[in-house]
Amino acid sequence: MSNLVLLERRVDEHEEVPESLVDIYRAHHAHVRAFAQRLLGCPAQAEDLVHDVFVALPRALTKFRGESSLRTFLIAVAVRHAQQHIRAVSRRRAAERRLALEPQPSSGTPDATFEQGELGQILSMALDELPVDQRVAFVLCEVEERTSVEVAEMLGESDGTIRGRVFHAKKKLRTILERRGGKQP
């Protein structure tokens, strides 16, 4: 009997949830955290999202049919809880930019002058300018390299919808990167 099936039964019986929850946390928290950090670009906010996902998990598992892996299911739960965190982190970064607390990436300089990791930081901040759906689709498909079919199943959308979101996200991001980082020679 799989750990998950046992957990589901325990959830039904309102027993043993903590231990099973801890087991699942230990097995999958790193993947959920990686997704959360890529999506939000802020470790503290990402940790809050991880916490929300695992606290909500016992209830969420009642809807789990085992059609996807538990890890995929956890990412889907994270996506459902991500919206408020995205808003919070975007607001905070916008405020920091206004107050010039966050260092602005260099602008108008050739890409060759970007320091190691700076492009990733620029992209992370550029994600703030995308609608949530496009942001999620871009991170899942492009950063985490999932197929559009897998993401479509995860989010309960059609493959075409996901492809469209990624297409529009990339288009906007190119424009933003161009504005902030200049063009490659």
Partner 1 sequence: MTTDLLSMATRELRARPIDSDRALLTLAKLRPARQPRARRLVALVIPIAATLVALGAWAGAAHERHRASLESTHTEERVVAHKKTLAPPLYTAPIVQTPKVVVVVAAATTEPPRGITTSAPDPDALHRRAFAAYRDHDDEGAIAAWDKYLETNPMGRFVPEARWGRAAALVRLGRNAEAREALVPFARGDLGAYRRDEAKALLERL
User: What does the binding site for partner 1 look like in residue numbers (CB under 8 A)?
Assistant: 1, 3, 6, 14-19, 21-22, 25-26, 29-30, 33-34, 37-38, 43-44, 46-47, 50-51, 54-55, 58, 111, 117-124, 126, 142-145, 170, 173-174, 177-178, 181, 183-184
Residue 15 or 96: which CB sits closer to partner 1?
15
Residue 113 or 158: which CB sits closer to partner 1?
113
- How far apart are CB 58 and partner 1 at their closest, in Å? 7
- How far apart are CB 131 and partner 1 at their closest, in Å? 18
- How far apart are CB 144 and partner 1 at their closest, in Å? 8
* Contact (Cβ atoms closer than 8 angstroms) between residue 138 and residue 169: yes
- How far apart are CB 115 and partner 1 at their closest, in Å? 10
